[in-house]
Structure 1
């Protein structure tokens, strides 16, 4: 199990009012944040996730690194849509400071950032930032949506610079389409590695579902995404409960 500290950055610029992603660019991010948090903390109970916003007058911390989703939810409720575009470099640098202050220095450092508005920084500055992240062994996953065509060239070059031999950083570009944003992230390389158990066997299907949806009368989870999400979260909670009971039983037997 990967031991990781992850800082998630949402885009809260005025572009997030756009309804080209269901139900809006902004709400689509919030739904995806929950999926990311559940995957990260279920992978390893010592993993922590923090939350930032990027799009207003400045980047803001919404939640410190935590494994308590209540804190993340409180941070999401405290965020609001404001500002035009985003300062990609500034928010990444601030996120790095937040990760540097993690309590457990053995945790790997990762940033997951949503980009749904035009990037205001020039390409040379962005590539320089990529070299700094690589030097400091900080992985980054970029969810490029909304204004994805405008940002793709810069982000492609950035990921090429920042990636290490393990290819631990990812660029996921999601155009407008029939599927929900969280569905596309859930079955992408950003979260796919989490889907493997210790023997390399995937717990999730190729369609991004958890376990056997057929047991719940669903042959295709994409037919009812909201029900599929509820099933996914329910199964995750059940697996976590079983793991806790197993751990408690082992402790009692010692």
Structure 2
């Protein structure tokens, strides 16, 4: 089965103070990133994932890699949670990293949002067209849901604001034949299921099919490889899982005796023509001689019995 197309993904992490204060969002983001990376790496051996925090003044990041231990260490130890989310800065930084990826690889941004961001009305058009021009797909996992009827004005119109509508429009503009998504996570404990049913749905389907194909291939035990010295049709080979081919030699076949010859033998036995009816070696040849006399007019029968007599 052909592997899925190789892809480089930059994950934009929400490392704002708000996420740190809400432990359920912090833990859900950690688990989602780990699950996403493991799934990506299973799909294609060329897939790479990088990490970039979006909070202000955070300079540390992980360049695209396949080293899962490096990614996990960064998530657990190296990420500092402070300030507010600079979403625009994150998009520019991710595109800069993706521009250095090999030409044959697809490019993607996965953005986690757990609070207010610096995106306002009109930004979605500018940055949506920018991402589309760069050939970058966009997935957004949004933990921040607010009832705007009860939201304060600073949350709706401040420098860092509630931007669910803008994020939705951004994904719509970037989307190219279903390659971009936005999902809302109301219950943080369901984030893995939400990813499995949306952003990673095709990836998991591919992994399932590949696993089934590999299992089917491992159940194939009998093959007939080409042989230089013998016809493959004459030999049978057995392969137990995890072992080399073992040649199976066919059991010796019982010679076919013509029905007419069987009748001649029967007549000799029934007629008791001076022979002991037992089938010991001493009496076999005298009996065959008498059968030869009965079969001398049939060349084929005569030849077969003559060979048996000479053995």
Q: So what's the TM-score if we normalise by structure 2?
A: 0.58
In the alignment, which residue of structure 1 is the partner of 2:152?
Answer: none
Conserved? CA contact 2:56–2:86, under 8 Å? no
Which of 174, 181, 205 is equivalent to 2:191? 181
In the alignment, which residue of structure 1 is the partner of 2:79?
Answer: 79
Q: Which runs of 4+ in 1 moved over 4 A?
A: none
| CA shift digits 1:45-67 (9 cap, x unpaired) | 11100011112335x44211101
In the alignment, which residue of structure 1 is the partner of 2:165?
Answer: 153
Larger mean Cα displacement after TM superposition, 106-115 or 189-198: 189-198
Structure 1 position 121, deviation (Å): 2.3
* CA distance, structure 2, for counterparts of residue 52 and residue 163 of structure 1: 22
| CA shift digits 1:78-118 (9 cap, x unpaired) | 0021112x12111011001111112x321100010101111
SS at structure 1 position matched to 2:122: helix
* CA distance, structure 1, for counterparts of residue 198 and residue 113 of structure 2: 17
In the alignment, which residue of structure 2 is the partner of 1:230?
Answer: none
Conserved? CA contact 1:25–1:116, under 8 Å? yes
Output the aligned Cα RMSD: 2.9
In the alignment, which residue of structure 2 is the partner of 1:94?
Answer: 93
Q: So what's the TM-score if we normalise by structure 1?
A: 0.71
**Structure 2 residues not aligned, in runs of 5+:** 148-161, 219-240, 246-311
Which one has more relative contact order, counting CA pairs under 8 Å at least 6 apart? Answer: 1
Structure number with bigger Rg: 2
**Structure 1 residues not aligned, in runs of 5+:** 205-209, 212-237, 243-248
* CA distance, structure 1, for counterparts of residue 138 and residue 168 of structure 2: 13
Conserved? CA contact 1:111–1:141, under 8 Å? yes
Kindly tell me: are residues 183 and 108 of structure 1, through their superposed partners in 2, closer, same or farther at Cα, counting changes over 3 Å?
same
* CA distance, structure 2, for counterparts of residue 203 and residue 18 of structure 1: 41
Conserved? CA contact 1:51–1:61, under 8 Å? no
Q: What pairs up with 1:175-214 in 2 under 5 angstroms?
A: 175-176=186-187, 179-185=189-195, 187-197=196-206
SS at structure 2 position matched to 1:193: helix
Conserved? CA contact 2:88–2:118, under 8 Å? no
Kindly tell me: are residues 15 and 154 of structure 1, through their superposed partners in 2, closer, same or farther at Cα, counting changes over 3 Å?
same
Q: How many residues align?
A: 200
Residue 134 in structure 1 maps to residue 132 in structure 2: yes
In the alignment, which residue of structure 2 is the partner of 1:229?
Answer: none
